[in-house]
C-alpha cells in the first residue's frame, strides 16, 4: 500500500471503471476519484467498488468528482474520456471529436492537479497524447500514452495460442503507434528467453504480427457494441503501479520524441523506464532496416494526424 496516493480517472466507462476496480483490488493507491458526465452511474460504480475494496480489506476509497475542480492534487490522472470506436470506424475518424474533449479535460487537469502525471488512453492514442502534452504545458516525462503494454500483451496472447505452451514466460515486444502501423518486434520477443524465431516459422510469426496489428478491431467486431476494456485497463494499471511504487521498470509507452530514434515533435511507442517522475528514461534499442522502415511508417501515420490538427488550426490561439 502506498500511503496517501491519489489517482484521478476521467471517463468512468468500461475502461475507466475497470482501471479503478483493478487499482482498488490491489490497494495501489489511497484514493481513486472518478469523473464522468454520467454522474449517477459514476456514483453507483464508485460505491460498488468501495464495497468490493472493503471485501478484500483494501484501504482504497473510490469517490466521484462532481466537477473538474474536485479532481485536485492527484498524483496521476488517467484520461479515457472520448467518443468510443464503433464497428467500421477507424481510430482516425475519432480525431477532431476526441482532440476537443482531450483539450477540455487536460485544461482542467493542469489547473487543479498541476503536478500530476497524465496517462492518456483515449484514441487515436498517440495524437491524443500529443494534444495532452501541448495543451497541458507539462514536461514530456509527465504525459504518457498507454498502448505498448496492451499491444505487447495481445502479441504474447497470440504467441501462446499459436504455441500451445509458455504461458507466463512470453515476453513480446511492440513499438510504434497504436494502430494498424504498430511495429511488433519478433526479434525482441522470447519464450523463457528462447527467441521466437527458434519456436515458430516465419509464416507463423507473420500471422501473429498481422493479428496483433488488428487486435483491437478483432475484439470490436466480436463485441459489436463496444471495444476492448479488460486488457487496456490492466495495461494502464500496470503503468500506474510502476509510477506510484517507483519501480523503474521498462515498459513500452507512447511518449513525445525529441531526437530519439531520429524523430522530433511526434509521439510514438518506445521502451521507457517508468518511475515516480513518470518517464525517467527513454530506451533506444537497435532496429534493423526493416524495423526502422516500419517505425518510420508508424511515425508518419501519427504525423499525418498532427498535420490534420494543424491544418484545422486546432492549436492556434494557445
Condensed to tens digits (0 to 9), the pLDDT of residues 159-201 reads: 999 999 999 999 999 999 998 899 999 999 999 999 999 999 9
Topology of domain 6-145 in CATH is: Rossmann fold (3.40.50)
- Domain span(s) for CATH 3.40.50.720 in the chain: 6-145
Condensed to tens digits (0 to 9), the pLDDT of residues 96-142 reads: 889 999 999 999 999 999 999 999 999 899 999 999 999 999 999 99
Condensed to tens digits (0 to 9), the pLDDT of residues 11-62 reads: 999 999 999 999 999 999 999 999 999 999 999 999 999 999 999 999 999 9
Rounded to whole angstroms, the Cα distance separating 70 from 65 reads: 5
- Work out the mean pLDDT of the chain and round it to a whole number: 94
Give residues with Cβ within 8 angstroms of 187, minimum separation 6.
Answer: 195, 196, 197, 288, 291
Q: Nine-digit cell at 1?
A: 500500500
**Which of the four CATH numbers 3.40.50.720, 2.30.30.40, 3.30.930.10, 3.90.110.10 does domain 148-309 have?**
3.90.110.10
Residues identified as active-site: 178
Q: Is the pLDDT of residue 92 over 70?
A: no
- Domain span(s) for CATH 3.90.110.10 in the chain: 148-309
Beta carbons of 125 and 235 less than 8 angstroms apart: no
What is the SS3 string spanning 44-77?
HHHHHHHHHHHHCCCCCEEEECCCHHHCCCCCEE
The model carries a pTM of 0.95
Beta carbons of 65 and 71 less than 8 angstroms apart: yes
Rounded to whole angstroms, the Cα distance separating 272 from 293 reads: 21
Amino acid at each position: 500500500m502506498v500511503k496517501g496516493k491519489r489517482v484521478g480517472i476521467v471517463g468512468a466507462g468500461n475502461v475507466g471503471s475497470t482501471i479503478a476496480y483493478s487499482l482498488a483490488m490491489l490497494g495501489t493507491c489511497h484514493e481513486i476519484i472518478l469523473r464522468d458526465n454520467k454522474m449517477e452511474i459514476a456514483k453507483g460504480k464508485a460505491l460498488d467498488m468501495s464495497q468490493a475494496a472493503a471485501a478484500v480489506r483494501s484501504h482504497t476509497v473510490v469517490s466521484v468528482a462532481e466537477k473538474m475542480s474536485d479532481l485536485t492534487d492527484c498524483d496521476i490522472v488517467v484520461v479515457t474520456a472520448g467518443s468510443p470506436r464503433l464497428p467500421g470506424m477507424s481510430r482516425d475518424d475519432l480525431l477532431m471529436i476526441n482532440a476537443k474533449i482531450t483539450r477540455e479535460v487536460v485544461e482542467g487537469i493542469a489547473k487543479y492537479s498541476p503536478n500530476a502525471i497524465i496517462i492518456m488512453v483515449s484514441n487515436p492514442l498517440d495524437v491524443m497524447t500529443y494534444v495532452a502534452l501541448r495543451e497541458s504545458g507539462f514536461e514530456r516525462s509527465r504525459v504518457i500514452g498507454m498502448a505498448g503494454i496492451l499491444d505487447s500483451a495481445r502479441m504474447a496472447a497470440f504467441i501462446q495460442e499459436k504455441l500451445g505452451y509458455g504461458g507466463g514466460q512470453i515476453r513480446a515486444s511492440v513499438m510504434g503507434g497504436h494502430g494498424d502501423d504498430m511495429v511488433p518486434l519478433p526479434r525482441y520477443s522470447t519464450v523463457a528467453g528462447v527467441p521466437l524465431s527458434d519456436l515458430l516459422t516465419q509464416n507463423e510469426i507473420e500471422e501473429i504480427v498481422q493479428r496483433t496489428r488488428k487486435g483491437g478491431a478483432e475484439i470490436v467486431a466480436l463485441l459489436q457494441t463496444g471495444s476492448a476494456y479488460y486488457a487496456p485497463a490492466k495495461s494502464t494499471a500496470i503503468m500506474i503501479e510502476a509510477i506510484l511504487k517507483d519501480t523503474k521498470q521498462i515498459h513500452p509507452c507512447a511518449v513525445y520524441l525529441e531526437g530519439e530514434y531520429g524523430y522530433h515533435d511526434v509521439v510514438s511507442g518506445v521502451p521507457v523506464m517508468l518511475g515516480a517522475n513518470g518517464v525517467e528514461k527513454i530506451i533506444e534499442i537497435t532496429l534493423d532496416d526493416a524495423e526502422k522502415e516500419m517505425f518510420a511508417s508508424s511515425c508518419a501515420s501519427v504525423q499525418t494526424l498532427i498535420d490534420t490538427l494543424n491544418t484545422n488550426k486546432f492549436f492556434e490561439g494557445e
